[in-house]
A and B are shown apart, each in its own frame.
Chain A
Amino acid sequence: MSALKIKKGSSSHSAYELRDPNADIVEKHTLAVIVDNEAGVLARVIGLFSGRGYNIESLTVAEIDHTGHRSRITVVTTGTPAVIEQIKAQLGRIVPVHEVHDLTVEGPSVERELALFKVAGKGDQRVEALRLADIFRANVVDSTLKSFVFEITGTPEKIDAFADLMRPLGLEEVARTGVAALARGKK
């Protein structure tokens, strides 16, 4: 008997329906997660993202309150509105997590990232690199006869733009910190 009217020998049906019917608009959100600074807490957060298939675009973490042993994790993620809500609820469920803030929806916020660029151009390229660095308010933190290291802070977009300009001028290496973000205003 074949109750589904599938012919004997057929392979037209698989067992599970796995497509996501809600895969529509994808948004980018910056989340600030305040956690106990205890062993393994970052692994819990990262494990949540990898285990449930969420995206991480950027992630930074450092202790922000040495007496209270609190760390702030700033994570930039993308997903549909429903997935973003799930991510926040899932983060809130982790035992050492105290607060979860969605800076993208909780009013205006500022985002900054710091990056170091090693540029090793020749002749005019060196002059041009210095000129552009000045426009971007990047500082020279190391220089040799053959190279510069620039330090730049700004939004991730500004750093991307700087990288695009440095590439033809002998860009050798980049180190970026990832995003740190705070809500604007008093509280």
Chain B
Amino acid sequence: MARQMTGAKMVVQALKDQGVDTVFGYPGGAVLPIYDEIFQQNDIRHILVRHEQGAVHAAEGYARSTGKPGVVLVTSGPGATNAVTGLTDALMDSIPIIVLTGQVPTFMIGTDGFQEADTIGITRPCTKHNWLVKETDKLADTIHQAFHVAKSGRPGPVLVDIPKDVQFATGRYVEPKAARVSHYQPQVKGTIEAITDLVAAIEKAERPVFYTGGGVINSGPEASRLLRELVDSTGFPITSTLMGLGAYPASGKGWIGMLGMHGLYEANMAMHDCDLMINIGARFDDRITGRLDAFSPGSKKAHVDIDPSSINKVIHVDIPIIGDVGNVLGDLVNVWKSRGRKTNAEAVAKWWKQIEEWKTIDCLSFTNSEKLIKPQFALQRLEALTKKYDRYICTEVGQHQMWAAQYLTFEDPNRWMTSGGLGTMGYGFPASIGVQMAHPDALVINVAGEASWLMNMQEMGTAMQYRLPVKQFILNNERLGMVRQWQELLHGERYSQSWSESLPDFVKLAEAFGAKGIICKDPADLDDAIMEMLNYDGPVIFDCLVEKHENCFPMIPSGKPHNEMLLGNASTKGAIQAGGAVLV
């Protein structure tokens, strides 16, 4: 069982034994022994990124689109500090990734050695857990523990810091099944009493709504399947956070669209007026709740979450259920069925009538133009022309991200990769690289803003080197659009520093990397241009010049309740009944 090998070899062996096929990384002095081992094997593919932040986002894209953890290998000092944004992003969005960092040799730690950084100290608050390995004998076990922690309970990023002398020294390798059993074993099964309470509430509810989040997707495909079964057989409406899109299909009969700050009118109104809110794997984020003391004032609230600290953190709930979403949903469906599949169908039908009325407002309507490409129109065309493909969508952060969430539709989980909790500009492009690595034959599109895209544009080199045909669909408004929108609405139209000046010629930029560049500014040319992008076998930068001053609606301004949504251009048709609704 126990085999002797160098620490560097152990790293590669442990990754293989954990089923890793792809590592995103960047070499440097403190990880040279590990790179030497990577050179001498063919089981694990190493993807050389162009910046360590890109490696972490790529690993996130890989993880989100496969459900498997993503793996990153970087050097000490600057390699590690460049990974910090990605670690924080993964922590906020509960993405399982394992980051391996090189470190100066143990005998040099604390001497301000070349490329020494206190990686453990720096990354302690932005990882789920991290380890400094000081003995080669403990290295394999620690890596196995790291995978266990990253994947168990609420998933998240972990980091293992490996000094260079530990990589050179020889020690005892242990296989995953021989590794220590961790005491870290989060509760996955919900208590049956709480689940029964929720079933009783489901049976009586007159105005129920499912409010689901990224936890459903993290729990795995079975959780999505059970969610669909429960929603469809109860006939209740369902909304989702940005992170949860795809867990329930957009074509499903219960779907009422995304909720939150830029969510759909009907979804937010349903959250405000419901009498039973069933939160499954979401966390009452402030982009969802709006003003806390006005959040869904009349509802009984149930909350299913694997992380006990998510329960009652910001919103007090009546029925807390701690457990894994898939596990709890399985029990919930069984108990509900065994008690006779009851719902208050008559009241729920009336509730649906109300929701249908809200839908007639058509909150996503916008004034189209024949001269300029409206960003919403661009996404409607992208949706129409790519819907039939095996499609994965990534985004950057800004208006384009919200429009993508509003105008693109998702039928399956793991198809939508966006930086939700941290809102990291520069996430989408490297994430699309990670997704394409995991799904070589799929259509992978990154819906980007020009400003965000520039933040990690160096990854064009990676896309070219590995022949990854990622499509960069840039909605170019020559503005930090979301910042501009807030300045218009909240800061007296003082547009401080929110222009994208001195932009590159994106077509030439693409060509400089050997990729294809497409520019489109006339709505009449848009379909042909999108088809040209889809038909090109290789990376494409699509520079879609859009209206510069379009605002993203609906919008719940910060500090406002759900029923005080700004609707922009949507027609009001007199269907708004809730008292105090401010429609402008």
- Contact indicator B311/A89 (Cβ below 8 Å): yes
Q: In the complex, what's the smallest C-beta–C-beta distance from A100 to chain B, in angstroms?
A: 10
Instruction: Give Cα distance in the complex from A1 to B555, angstroms.
Output: 15
Given known contacts A4-B490, A16-B559, A89-B308, is B125 in contact with A47 (CB within 8 Å)? Answer: yes
Given known contacts A16-B558, A47-B125, A95-B128, is B312 in contact with A3 (CB within 8 Å)? Answer: no
Chain A 127-149 per-residue mask, 1 if CB under 8 angstroms from chain B, else 0? 00000000000000000000000
A-B contact pairs, 7 of them (CB 8 A): A7-B492, A13-B490, A21-B293, A39-B132, A40-B132, A93-B309, A95-B129
- Contact indicator A4/B491 (Cβ below 8 Å): no
- Contact indicator B184/A6 (Cβ below 8 Å): no
- Contact indicator B312/A82 (Cβ below 8 Å): yes
Task: Tell yes or no: B229 within 8 A of A by CB.
Answer: no
- Contact indicator B124/A2 (Cβ below 8 Å): no
- Contact indicator B309/A17 (Cβ below 8 Å): no
Task: Tell yes or no: B402 within 8 A of A by CB.
Answer: no
Which residues from chain A sit less than 8 Å from chain B, CB to CB? 1-11, 13-17, 21, 39-40, 43-44, 47, 51, 82, 85-86, 89-90, 92-96, 98
- Contact indicator A40/B291 (Cβ below 8 Å): no
Which residues from chain B sit less than 8 Å from chain A, CB to CB? 120-121, 124-125, 128-129, 132, 149, 183-184, 291-293, 307-309, 311-313, 316, 486, 488-494, 551, 555, 557-559, 566, 568, 584
- Contact indicator B309/A2 (Cβ below 8 Å): no
Given known contacts A16-B559, A51-B125, is B492 in contact with A10 (CB within 8 Å)? Answer: yes
Chain B residues with Cβ below 8 Å from A16 are: 558-559
Instruction: Give Cα distance in the complex from A11 to B491, angstroms.
Output: 6
Chain A residues with Cβ below 8 Å from B551 are: 1, 3
Partner of A3, one of B121, B124, B291, B568: B568
Chain A residues with Cβ below 8 Å from B313 are: 86, 89
Instruction: Give Cα distance in the complex from A16 to B292, angstroms.
Output: 12
Interface of A is mostly: loop
Q: In the complex, what's the smallest C-beta–C-beta distance from A88 to chain B, in angstroms?
A: 9
Partner of A8, one of B291, B492, B566: B492
- Contact indicator B559/A17 (Cβ below 8 Å): yes
Given known contacts A7-B492, A17-B558, A89-B311, is B121 in contact with A43 (CB within 8 Å)? Answer: yes
Residue of A nearest to B153 (CB): A93
Residue of A nearest to B184 (CB): A95
**Interchain Cβ contacts within 8 Å, total number:** 76
Chain A residues with Cβ below 8 Å from B132 are: 39-40
Partner of A15, one of B309, B490, B566: B490
Instruction: Give Cα distance in the complex from A105 to B256, angstroms.
Output: 44
- Contact indicator A21/B292 (Cβ below 8 Å): yes
Instruction: Give Cα distance in the complex from A77 to B506, angstroms.
Output: 55
Instruction: Give Cα distance in the complex from A14 to B492, angstroms.
Output: 11
Q: In the complex, what's the smallest C-beta–C-beta distance from B340 to chain A, in angstroms?
A: 36
Partner of A6, one of B120, B293, B316, B489: B489
Given contacts A3-B584, A9-B494, A11-B492, 5 further A-B contacts (CB under 8 A): A2-B493, A3-B551, A4-B489, A47-B124, A89-B308
Instruction: Give Cα distance in the complex from A3 to B291, angstroms.
Output: 18
- Contact indicator B124/A43 (Cβ below 8 Å): yes
Residue of A nearest to B316 (CB): A82
Q: Which 4 A-B pairs have the closest CB atoms?
A: A17-B559, A89-B309, A95-B129, A3-B584
Instruction: Give Cα distance in the complex from A29 to B320, angstroms.
Output: 23
- Contact indicator A93/B149 (Cβ below 8 Å): no
- Contact indicator A6/B309 (Cβ below 8 Å): no
Chain A residues with Cβ below 8 Å from B489 are: 2-4, 6
- Contact indicator B584/A86 (Cβ below 8 Å): no
Q: In the complex, what's the smallest C-beta–C-beta distance from A153 to chain B, in angstroms?
A: 33
Q: In the complex, what's the smallest C-beta–C-beta distance from A90 to chain B, in angstroms?
A: 5
Q: In the complex, what's the smallest C-beta–C-beta distance from A68 to chain B, in angstroms?
A: 11
Q: In the complex, what's the smallest C-beta–C-beta distance from B393 to chain A, in angstroms?
A: 28
Chain B residues with Cβ below 8 Å from A5 are: 584
Chain B residues with Cβ below 8 Å from A4 are: 489-490, 557, 566, 584
Residue of B nearest to A40 (CB): B120
Given known contacts A15-B558, A47-B125, is B491 in contact with A92 (CB within 8 Å)? Answer: no
Chain A residues with Cβ below 8 Å from B494 are: 9
Instruction: Give Cα distance in the complex from A93 to B494, angstroms.
Output: 43
Q: In the complex, what's the smallest C-beta–C-beta distance from B140 to chain A, in angstroms?
A: 18
Instruction: Give Cα distance in the complex from A182 to B494, angstroms.
Output: 59
Partner of B308, one of A1, A11, A93: A93
Given known contacts A4-B566, A16-B558, A16-B559, is B490 in contact with A86 (CB within 8 Å)? Answer: no
